[in-house]
Amino acid sequence: MNVYDSEVVLSILKKEGYDLCERLEDADLILVNTCSIRENAEQRVWGRLDRFLQEKKHRKVLVGVLGCMAERIKQDLLSHPAVDMVVGPDSYRELPTLVRALSEDAHNKQMEIALSMTETYADIEPVRMDKNGVTSFISIMRGCNNMCTYCIVPYVRGRERSRDPYTIVQEATSLYNAGYKEVNLLGQNVDSYLWKDPANPTKSVNFAQLLELVALVAPDLRVRFSTSHPKDMSNAVLYSMAMYPNICTHIHLPVQSGSDRMLEKMNRKYDSATYLERIDKIREIIPDAAITTDIIAGFCSETEEDHQATIELMKNVKFDSAFMFQYSQRPNTKAARHFEDDVPLETKTRRLNEIIELQSAISLERNKDCIGKIYEVLIEGTSKRDSDQLFGRTLGNKVCVFSAPGYKAGDYAKVKVESCTSATLIATLIE
Ligand code: 5AD
Ligand code: SF4
């Protein structure tokens, strides 16, 4: 999401004559796009600001903080001696004006942090910063209305709004025409995507329909999406996925916890039985689907029994992979205001480590199931470990490494999996 936002920012500033540079030492303007989701993400930004201050000591350079942290702690950031401007996620169109004001008077620090009910940057064609030229992101909606009690996103990214589907299709088409072979549709909760035509309120497009529209751009343009929400993921989305071979068979479906008591306290609005029913439905409609998840260890009042419920659910579902976190209290969220962050740090860490260890064994097991099977892989580049090897992904988003002389990034290759680790499939080329 933040990469996409940075691409929007670059597009806005390019029109003003700015461009990307590789080295900090060459920059006239330094922008840091920030994330507030966990405390350690914010800590890293403070470290960077101190580094920028050193840079400012010996030359003229402007520094701006963008994104969630700008929204959350605007005043604190503005007080940092390195910071010249603070710009929230819905105010990027103001950047040229703010930069101009600063260029005229560098002492006049700038701040723009209003959240919007409508801004989706729909008309802005982002300037891509990725290096591979094969896969790219498209933001389809902004904000979130879910109010999970631990989560800061609704406070820093504002209310949910869906982007005009025709601008999404247009963006996918122009990426395809530029040689891209995969688009990843992004939203905090893609299942609640719903666009109503302002000119005709009876006309609307939901996420299942949007998926089809994007899948129809070109049969060899792969379509991915994230993130799905267990309470909203409809069978219609699964049927769209099953119907179009270029929609990737991968669902990222964060469970957060296996304990019904925790899920209730997190305000996730589903219980473990409903979650498992969704998993069964996915596997019924798309038998070879890869399912990944997010898990939080040590949320407020989590007992050993709650933790075991998460472990049991993981063993039951057998996720292909997972992002796993220990709970990090975020200021002003409902959890911070009403619940005690009472699981000791050592316990959180121990539980997280148990979860990571189990998931790594399950990921290995899931990857072993791929051995002997044939997959179509979209090549993304050369392997970091061995420049003679290429790497790409299967439709299920598994990273696959293989040797394929004459092939290049952006090509499709059919490969047979010979062996694996918990993170990678090792394959040979078939055609
Ligand atoms: N602490 C730890 N993890 C969190 N996430 C969101 N908020 C927090 C928090 N306060 C995790 C959730 C979410 C993912 C994007 O980040 O698992 O799905
Ligand atoms: Fe945060 Fe919940 Fe919205 Fe995800 S769905 S962004 S966890 S509030």
Alpha helices by DSSP H, 180-222:
207-215
Q: Where are the beta strands (DSSP E) in 260-373?
A: 290-297, 321-326
Contact 61, 78 (CB under 8 A): no
Q: Ligand 1: does its nearest atom lie under 6 Å from the Cβ of 38?
A: yes
DSSP, collapsed to helix, strand or coil, labels residue 237 as: helix
Mean pLDDT, residues 9-36 taken together? 92
**pLDDT value at residue 398:** 96
3.40.50.11540, 2.60.40.10, 2.40.50.140, 1.10.3720.10: which CATH number matches 374-429?
A: 2.40.50.140
Mean pLDDT, residues 279-300 taken together? 97
If pLDDT is split at 50, 70 and 90, which confidence band does 316 have?
very high
If pLDDT is split at 50, 70 and 90, which confidence band does 387 have?
confident
Residues 6+ apart with CB under 8 A from 318: 362, 365, 366
**pLDDT value at residue 132:** 83
**pLDDT value at residue 261:** 98
**pLDDT value at residue 248:** 95
Q: Ligand 1: does its nearest atom lie under 6 Å from the Cβ of 330?
A: yes
Q: What is the pLDDT of residues 72-114, one digit of tens each?
A: 999 999 999 999 999 999 999 999 999 999 988 888 999 999 9
Tell me how far apart the alpha carbons of residues 160 and 141 are, in angstroms, rounded to a whole number: 7
Contact 48, 54 (CB under 8 A): no
- Name the residue type at position 22: E
CA of 6 to the centre of ligand 2 (A): 21
**pLDDT value at residue 356:** 98
**pLDDT value at residue 130:** 74
Contact 114, 93 (CB under 8 A): no
Query: With 80 as the cut, is the pLDDT of residue 431 above it?
Result: no
DSSP, collapsed to helix, strand or coil, labels residue 233 as: coil
Residues 6+ apart with CB under 8 A from 391: 379, 380, 381, 382, 383, 399, 400, 401, 402
Contact 127, 171 (CB under 8 A): no
CATH fold group of domain 135-368: pyruvate-formate lyase- activating enzyme (3.80.30)
Range in 18-22, 84-88, 332-336 with the lowest mean pLDDT = 18-22
Q: Ligand 2: does its nearest atom lie under 6 Å from the Cβ of 148?
A: yes
Looking at the DSSP assignment, which residues form a beta bridge with residue 206? 194
Mean pLDDT, residues 29-35 taken together? 94
Comma-separated ranges of CATH 3.40.50.12160 domains in the chain: 2-112
Closest C-alpha residue for ligand 1 atom 6: 151
Mutate to test the pocket of ligand 2, among 146, 266, 270, 294 (most ligand atoms within 8 A of CB): 146
Q: Ligand 1: does its nearest atom lie under 6 Å from the Cβ of 299?
A: no
Half-sphere exposure for 316 (CA within 13 Å, toward CB): 15
Query: With 90 as the cut, is the pLDDT of residue 158 above it?
Result: yes
Looking at the DSSP assignment, which residues form a beta bridge with residue 382? 390
If pLDDT is split at 50, 70 and 90, which confidence band does 52 have?
very high
Query: With 90 as the cut, is the pLDDT of residue 255 above it?
Result: yes
**pLDDT value at residue 389:** 95
Residue holding tokens 């129809």? 216
Alpha helices by DSSP H, 59-115:
68-72, 74-79, 95-104
Tell me how far apart the alpha carbons of residues 337 and 87 are, in angstroms, rounded to a whole number: 26
The kind and range of the H/E element at 239 are helix 235-243
**pLDDT value at residue 146:** 95
Comma-separated ranges of CATH 3.80.30.20 domains in the chain: 135-368
Q: Ligand 1: does its nearest atom lie under 6 Å from the Cβ of 41?
A: no
Tell me how far apart the alpha carbons of residues 317 and 79 are, in angstroms, rounded to a whole number: 48
**170 vs 198 pLDDT, higher one:** 170
| DSSP label of 84 | S
Q: What is the pLDDT of residues 205-246, one digit of tens each?
A: 999 999 999 999 999 999 999 999 999 999 999 999 999 999
Q: Ligand 1: does its nearest atom lie under 6 Å from the Cβ of 328?
A: yes
Comma-separated ranges of CATH 2.40.50.140 domains in the chain: 374-429
State in words which class domain 2-112 has.
Answer: alpha beta
Mean pLDDT, residues 331-339 taken together? 97
Tell me how far apart the alpha carbons of residues 387 and 368 are, in angstroms, rounded to a whole number: 25
Mean pLDDT, residues 291-301 taken together? 98
**pLDDT value at residue 384:** 85
**pLDDT value at residue 2:** 85
- Provide φ and ψ at 413, rounded to 5°: -140, 145
- Name the residue type at position 121: Y
Residues 6+ apart with CB under 8 A from 192: 141, 145, 160, 207, 229, 232
Computed over every residue of the chain, the mean pLDDT equals: 95
**pLDDT value at residue 148:** 98
* First-to-last C-alpha distance (Å) of the chain: 35
